[in-house]
Chains A and B, each alone.
Chain A
Amino acid sequence: MVEWTDSERAIITSIFSNLDYEEIGRKSLCRCLIVYPWTQRYFGGFGNLYNAETILCNPLIAAHGTKILHGLDRALKNMDDIKNTYAELSLLHSDKLHVDPDNFRLLADCLTVVIAAKMGPAFTVDTQVAWQKFLSVVVSALGRQYH
């Protein structure tokens, strides 16, 4: 089981409490699709992804970004058992969506960059350490049910 210090819990909780899920979700997913264009393979039904501008203006992508952030919220609310909280989601990504789990890491990196931009100097070294630890647990849990 993952051990969280009080400081780590406080940092993660604080980040989420100051987050606009819609803004950050949209920006992170768009950035992922732009920086790692092969990730677009999973978004065939999401309309126009022709270039960076159309991706950034795509409402379906924006909505999905928000959905992803709300999914992360579940991990926040169950920090002591992310593994089991995400068991079903992991199966979904494996069996229904057929997403290569490496993509979770790519999205996580984009999320980190977007949050760093938002928080600026407040995204201290300790904050980044805690945040990336949280994301690595999430990524690991999402990939866990693949078979």
Chain B
Amino acid sequence: MNDDCNDGDDDADDDDDDDDDDDDDNCSLEGNYLNVNMSLSSKQKATVKDFFSKMSTRSDDIGAEALSRLVAVYPQTKSYFSHWKDASPGSAPVRKHGITIMGGVYDAVGKIDDLKGGLLSLSELHAFMLRVDPVNFKLLAHCMLVCMSMIFPEEFTPQVHVAVDKFLAQLALALAEKYR
């Protein structure tokens, strides 16, 4: 049986918000026409804040796991960690750095209304010092989504997934803002 069809209760709010936003959950192309830069609607921002709040007890695990999976599934990403003795999945430096990154993501949730402004110094760090190729932000985002899905399978609905994916994409854009 299709359980997702009976999810009506959780998503009862969706129809109420159609008046407020042009592109909240409206998946049609017409709905997105007015928001061509794919920014988050106010409903999606609320969805992100809500999910991250639910996730907060496990945020360290998710950060550590996500970075471990990044270097495992996409071994080329280890090229950024050649200065560590051990950059293998699950190693102490990888786990520690994954936690650091996740901390940065949480900080960005707090600045969700102005990511470019709020992440200016982090953007400069990535642009002038770290120079991480932006394609890797997408790869790490994917690994984060997988971990979120594993640890919160019920909460990580398609609607939450799209909001978080958009947020991480916006975050990546803000981080790459100063690249050129």
Q: Which residues of A line the B interface, CB within 8 A? A: 26-27, 30-31, 33-35, 37-38, 40-41, 49-53, 55-57, 62, 109, 112-114, 116-121, 123, 125-126, 128-129, 132
List of A residues within 8 angstroms of B57 by Cβ: none
A128 touches B161 (CB 8 A): no
The residue that B27 contacts in the complex, of A37, A112, A119, with Cβ under 8 A, is A37
- Chief secondary structure at chain B's binding surface: helix
Q: Are B150 and A35 in contact, CB atoms less than 8 angstroms apart?
A: no
Is B55 part of the binding interface, using a Cβ–Cβ cutoff of 8 Å? no
* B32 neighbours in A (Cβ, 8 Å): 37
Chain A, interface SS category: helix
Residue pairs across A and B with CB atoms within 8 Å: the count is 96
State whether A117 and B2 are in contact (beta carbons under 8 Å apart), knowing that A34-B161, A128-B73 are contacts in the complex. no
Are A51 and B14 closer than 8 Å at their CB atoms? yes
Determine whether B11 belongs to the interface, using a CB cutoff of 8 Å to chain A: yes
Contacting chain A: which of B77-85, B108-116, B127-135, B152-160? B152-160
Besides A35-B165, A52-B11, A123-B146, 13 more A-B contacts (Cβ < 8 Å) are A31-B158, A34-B27, A37-B27, A40-B29, A53-B8, A109-B145, A113-B156, A116-B153, A117-B149, A117-B150, A117-B153, A120-B150, A129-B72
> What's the minimum C-beta distance from B101 to chain A, rounded to whole angstroms?
17
Q: Report yes or no: A123 in contact with B2, Cβ–Cβ below 8 A.
A: no
Q: Name the interface size band of chain B.
A: 20 to 34
Q: Is the CB of B153 within 8 A of A109?
A: no
Interface centre among A49, A53, A62, A114 (most CB of B within 10 A): A53
A62-B2, A119-B150 known; A34-B159 Cβ under 8 A: yes
Contact B11 A53 (CB under 8 A): yes
In the bound complex, residues from chain B placing their C-beta under 8 Å from that of A31 are 158, 161
0 or 1 for each of B143-179: is its CB under 8 Å from A? (1 = yes): 0011101110100101101100100000000000000
